Structures are given as structure tokens and as C-alpha cells.
Amino acid sequence: MDLRTRWALVRFGITFLSLFAGWLLFTWSLDSGSLLAGGVSSLAVSLVTYPIFVEETEAGRRAHLPRPHMFLLFLAALVFSMYVASFRVLWRILRGDINPRVVHFRTRLKTDIARVVLTSSITLTPGTITLDLDDDHLVVHWLDAQTTHSRYAGMLIKGAYEKLLRGVWL
Amino acid sequence: MNVGAAVFLGLGVLFSIMGNVGVLVFPDPYTRLQASSTCTTTSVLSFFIGCMFIVGWGPMLGRLLVITLFFFVTSPISAHIIARFAWKSGVVPWRKSFAMKRHAERRDD
């Protein structure tokens, strides 16, 4: 069994486990029938989709095994800052006083999934939308721009997220 | 229905209404997208948290968590796709100086 086949098997396993965990959470039952249906459908779906779910070149161990406690911390920080930013945007809408600018900055995260999670959380936070992501270069539309200086804007927008995500993935 | 559910459902209603007002008020596609997609994201999250308070501990909570996670994955991607298409097709983002310039021109006439 060469390296490529073994890596394909591991990717298949990761896809199957993620799907099956989702099934267990969604059905919340341990009936043999339910488990069988979930297992068979997870097998079928992961047979088709494992090359997309885990890229062949994404081979770092830390890219697939996030630290769960750090991830929960990150989710809590995300929800909290979403509410704070929502109230800020609400105030902007009421006042009708906006200063939108497009800012460019770079991220120091290495793995693809960490970068995608970073861009998604920037978009989830009200007041900022990621327009483009090219390797480590982000283009962000900022509703209430305080600066267009690249490093300072990056610090304000992604600062806490990036610090937490470096603990989760890399 | 307990207090937490009432608070979060109220927040959801507030954010949803203000997001829609923002769509009408704001000047260009990007800022409208900011108002519609991101404020509505927070409002839907508030609704989910309110529902979690209502159902309490049980199988339904797991389902709500899965739905919330799925929403967290899909919602920013749809907003990002629209914004990226506008950016790639060269829509110029509105700036504060545009409004000032128009104001100055109107005063000159």
C-alpha cells in the first residue's frame, strides 16, 4: 500500500467520522436502525466527496485536528464580538453616518481551513465583509473605517480572531 | 417562555428590522450587503439562541446546535460570493467623499 492510497484512506475516514458525528447529533438516538441508516449514508456520501472535503495537499496533522477547547473559546469570542459589532452597526444605521472603505491586509495563518474560518468570521461580524482572499492577502470592505493603513486595519479587524485561530489550527 | 428566550427573540426582531432599514438607507451594493446579510446573521443567531432557551436540555438542543453551525458555515459564504462578484466586476465602493463632492456641486449651481 503506497503513501497515496494510505492518505486517501485517512481522508475517507476523516470525512466519514465528521458526517457520522453530524448524524448522531441530528438524530440523537442510538437505535440500531438509525445507526445503520446513518452509517450507510455517511459511507456513500464520503465515498463521493472525500477528495473535496480534505484536499490531497493539505497534509499537516494540525490542519485536521483542531484543539476543541480553543475552538469553543473562539466560538464564544466570535458570538460576543458579533453582538458588540451589531449594536455598533445599528447605531450607524440610525445616525446614517457611515465611512466605508476597502482595506487590504495579510494574515499569518498557514493552513487553508484556518484562513477560510478567519475570512468567514470576518464576514460574520457585522461591519466587515471579505471581498477577496488570495493566499494570505485579504481584501475587506469596512463599513466604519478608522484607518486605511494596512497593518493597523488588520490589527483592528482580525486581531483577536487570528490570535485565537493560531491556537486552534496553526 | 423564560426571560432569556424573550430577550434574545426581542434582539432578533430588533436586528432584523434595522437590517432591512439599512438596506433602504445605504447608498451602494457593498454597504447594503453589510446591512442585509450581516445584521440578519446576528438576528437569526439571536432567534436560534432564543429557541435554545425555550427547548432546554434535550435532543432538540443538539439539532439546534447543528443547524446553527451549518448556518455559521453557509451564511458568510453567500454574502462573500455576492460581494466578491461585485468587486470582480468593478463596482466602485461608495466613499464619504463622494457625498461631500455632490453636496459641493449642488451648492455651486
Measure Cα distances from A77 to A125, A146, A161, A164, B30 in Å.
11, 22, 8, 9, 25
Measure Cα distances from A112 to A34, A90, A133, A170 in Å.
34, 33, 11, 10
A21 Cβ under 8 Å from any chain B Cβ: no
Whether A132 sits inside 8 A of B14 (CB atoms) is: no
CA distance B1 to chain A (A): 22
Contacts of B66 in chain A (CB under 8 A): 22, 25-26
Query: What confidence tens digit (pLDDT) does each residue in A112-151 have?
Result: 888 888 998 988 888 888 898 888 888 998 888 888 888 8
For the cut 70, the answer to whether the pLDDT of residue B106 exceeds it is no
> Grid coordinates standing for A130?
471579505
Measure Cα distances from A5 to A1, A134, A161 in Å.
6, 30, 36
Burial class (CB in 10 A: 0-12, 13-18, 19+), A31: exposed
Nearest to A85 by CA among A152, A164, A143, A141: A143
What does the pLDDT average to over B62-90? 87
Nearest to A99 by CA among A137, A50, A153: A153
CA distance B109 to chain A (A): 25
For the cut 90, the answer to whether the pLDDT of residue A44 exceeds it is yes
Q: What is the pLDDT of residue B46?
A: 92
Query: What confidence tens digit (pLDDT) does each residue in A47-73 have?
Result: 998 888 877 776 666 666 778 888 889
Nearest residue on chain B to A98, alpha-carbon basis: B96
Q: What is the pLDDT of residue B10?
A: 92
